[in-house]
Structure 1
Amino acid sequence: MSLVSQNPGVSVIIPCFNSAKTLARALDSCLLQTEAAQIIVVDDGSQDASAAVAKFYSLKDRRVELVQMPENGGPARARNRGANFAAHSILAFLDADDEYQPGALATAALYLRNTPRQAAVRFSADFSDFPADLRAFPDFERHADIMSDTVASTLVIQRATFLALGGFPTDEVFRRYGGEDSALSNAIIDIYGCYRLEARKGVRVNYHPGSHVALYFSRAGGAETPFDEHWATTEAIQQFVARARTAMSGTAESIVDRA
């Protein structure tokens, strides 16, 4: 049995780029989670006080650790880097401007332990912080469901599965347009399936102007998506899922068994 598999609890990974204003809120929400045995802040070349905030919290609580990227590489690389430092068999990802609701990780971890053949589980997300004009369009709730099954902050996954899939894809197209979380989500669903905990919202996804989630809702509400961007991200997602499916063919069950 590996050292990782012997360690109970969840390793939470927080990618952080110039998020000093919101990082404390995200960390506070993690520290309230009894299952958060390790909280890894990956500073992705921030120019603000993000690293100082993380260091301050690491002095307050030994569960908090700071990992610093040598240069800015984008959220996918930061999340993958954090996963390499994870000491626990279950991973959770939280963006630095989001926050967990009380008891969320305990519910997710219990589900994965009681259903060991499940590779991953999702929270339903609370988007109530988003502007009223975005939340007012008729299909908002349907698109909120789509985002609950997509954004990184709702994902809790067996570490062995995450590593076997290769983590979040780091193709340049995702760095430019976003969509790395959609690619990983599609691969997980295609190979394993993924249950969503719908009884209550497990994570609050806060509005951040210019974020890929905010842009998605704007386009869902009627804003036009440039054709080149749509084509490039769709093709990249399909290619990643195909690569994952090929790599994992016939091994999905054994990966979950080792998780």
Structure 2
Amino acid sequence: MSPISIVIPCFNGAATIARALQSCLSQPDVAQIIVVDDGSTDASASIVRTYAMHDSRIRLLQTARNGGPARARNWAALHAGTPLIAFLDANDEYVPGALGPALDYLAQHPGAAVVRLDVEFVGFPARLNQHPDFARHAAVLSNTVPSSLVMRRSVFLALGGFPMDEVFRRHGGEDGALSWALSEIFAQHRLTDAKRVRMHYHDGIHAEKFMNIQMGFAQVDPPAGDETLNASRAFLDAALANLRQLQAVERVSHAT
């Protein structure tokens, strides 16, 4: 079974980063836990340093100013030294043994680029988690949110990582764009036999915004929706172009 690196972007996550780290440390086969403190103004970095003093697998990277989670994740992935990477947000946590089945799946399916974990949505408002369509929309998010993602690092880098367009900084959706590319190019299998990652509710969480729109509690802003869709389509086109270029290089190298 291949070892794995876990990437955690963190911006002012002092209240939850310890919980996230503890859940990572409980996972077997974890070689690295790379936390990017993305310009935090709270004690996030100090908490991570304390954990790193007791476990050499933890590495702290820091940015001078906040650049957003996509940039933080991509930077951390460049520092990963394992063939597999997983992404966990600082507000979320893995359940014990969460990554083992994902690693087994990728080992048993060498042609699979990615596998998703099923997400438990904790503390979400009753109007959402008691809605008759909650399970359907939760499944969509489980195939989209970064904390469910386990994939081959080579594929992640070939696709260009999470898109960092300014439109995603304004409106969110970089995780949806990457998910779209993964689905179109490779397909995404999700392990649905158990909930393996917990997404904890907090004010302003994008999952709530998505569900509010899908369930009719809010309306999408047409210009923002169009901008995000166009940026996502452009990312998909660029990802396909990257892969075609790599395939062409590979063919030439084999021919010579």
TM-score for both structures, normalised by structure 2: 0.93
Tell me the percent identity: 49
- Cα deviation for residue 36 of structure 1 reads 1.6
The residue number in structure 2 matching 1:234 is 229
CA distance in 1, matches of 2:187, 2:244: 14
CA distance in 2, matches of 1:250, 1:146: 31
Q: Is there any run of 5+ residues in structure 1 with no aligned partner, and where?
A: 1-6
The residue number in structure 2 matching 1:13 is 7
- Cα deviation for residue 128 of structure 1 reads 3.3
- Cα deviation for residue 90 of structure 1 reads 0.2
CA distance in 1, matches of 2:159, 2:78: 14
CA distance in 2, matches of 1:207, 1:229: 24
Instruction: Indicate conservation of the 8 Å contact 2:2/2:103, yes or no.
Output: no
- Cα deviation for residue 249 of structure 1 reads 2.8
- Cα deviation for residue 129 of structure 1 reads 2.3
Letter of the 2:211 counterpart:
F
- Cα deviation for residue 61 of structure 1 reads 1.0
Map 1:1-259 → 2, pairs under 5 A: 8-222=2-216, 223-249=218-244
Question: Structure 1 stretch 219-228 or stretch 13-22: which is displaced more?
Answer: 219-228
Q: How many residues align?
A: 248
Q: Is there any run of 5+ residues in structure 2 with no aligned partner, and where?
A: 251-256
Instruction: Indicate conservation of the 8 Å contact 1:57/1:64, yes or no.
Output: yes
- Cα deviation for residue 212 of structure 1 reads 1.3
Residue by residue, what CA displacement relative to the aligned partner does 1:177-202 show, whole Å, maximum 9, x if unpaired? Answer: 11101111111111111111111011
CA distance in 1, matches of 2:183, 2:193: 20
Instruction: Indicate conservation of the 8 Å contact 1:13/1:93, yes or no.
Output: yes
TM-score for both structures, normalised by structure 1: 0.92
